[in-house]
Structure 1
Amino acid sequence: MTDTEKPIPDEEWRTIVANVPLVSVDLVIEHNGGVLLGKRENEPAKGEWFVPGGTVFKKESRTDAVHRVAEAELGESVVIDDCLGTYEHFYETADIDGVDSKHYLTTAYRCHFDRNKPELVGDKQHSAFRIFRPPFDELHPYVEQYLNSR
């Protein structure tokens, strides 16, 4: 485990989330004429179909974070095609006791899988993965922002 991968103790993480925006990356993975979304199992956006993503570690570039998140959440590698920009996300929920909201500054990257037939492993954050094809409707507003900027 490198210095960037050491878990932050719970109390310190609670203080960080309660007081500062989190720097993160989101992966808009295009595949088979659509975009891969996962059904979220944790807050924020629990129960919503959302793009894979995660926080950026200290001393980790955003593009390195994209590759780490793809491997960790999907068990697959991705190729970055484009940066869609940086977005600000505000949630009125959090997955931390005593914290009632989360604020993210997230950079979205348009990507595709390194292999034509990926075998998604998944993780504890998602109960399922699915390819969504246009027209995109009734998706989380933040996901719609990404899809409208592609």
Structure 2
Amino acid sequence: MTESNFIPQDEWQTIVANVPLVSVDLVIEHDGGVLLGKRENDPAKGEWFVPGGTVFKNEPRTDAIHRVANKELGEAVVIDDCLGTYEHFYERAAVDGVDSKHYLATGYRCHFERDDPDIGGDDQHSEFRIFRPPFEDLHLYVQQYLDDR
């Protein structure tokens, strides 16, 4: 799968307005905590959130996990466990003409392939940070992942 799976804006608008999006979220454990990124776009703009992304058609979820890790972090991950599938409802969609977004997100507990990752960045996050217990004041959906890991 490649980024050539681009969907034209008008079609993406129809999809987001009418169906849940299938996605993967990466709960990456590292250095005694969990990696979170500060979101730069909706949904959850301004929140500390786990890296994640939409699964492409015909892309196995495990392939999506590795693609997201490479794209958003510039690092490879090892999948440790599937936490399950969660429903995420957002009142903002970041899609013109659409008021909300609905995800069926499968959470995966992972760790970096390397002990000393050089975490890059992308246009979706202003920074990344390791959060350690006790986990407080985090987005409800992030808290659910952390409680279930």
The alignment's TM-score, normalised by the length of structure 2, stands at 0.98
- The equivalent residue for 1:52 is 51
- Cα deviation digits, residues 59-110 of structure 1 (max 9, x gap): 1000110000000000000000000000000000011111010000010000
- The equivalent residue for 1:143 is 142
- The equivalent residue for 1:121 is 120
CA RMSD of superposed structures (Å): 1.0
- The equivalent residue for 2:77 is 78
Unpaired runs of 5+ residues, structure 2, are none
Note the C-alpha offset of 1:5: 3.6
- The equivalent residue for 1:19 is 18
- Report if aligned partners of 2:5, 2:56 keep a CA contact under 8 Å in 1: no
Amino acid across the alignment from 1:85: G
CA distance in 1, matches of 2:141, 2:5: 29
Amino acid across the alignment from 1:101: S
CA distance in 2, matches of 1:26, 1:38: 12
Note the C-alpha offset of 1:40: 0.0
- The equivalent residue for 2:63 is 64
- The equivalent residue for 2:133 is 134
CA distance in 2, matches of 1:99, 1:131: 33
Note the C-alpha offset of 1:6: 2.0
Amino acid across the alignment from 1:97: D
May I ask how many residue pairs the two structures share in their alignment?
149
- The equivalent residue for 1:91 is 90
CA distance in 2, matches of 1:18, 1:122: 29
Amino acid across the alignment from 1:104: Y
Unpaired runs of 5+ residues, structure 1, are none
- The equivalent residue for 2:99 is 100
- Report if aligned partners of 1:5, 1:57 keep a CA contact under 8 Å in 2: no
CA distance in 2, matches of 1:50, 1:121: 16
- Which residues of 2 match residues 26-37 of structure 1 at below 5 A? 26-37=25-36
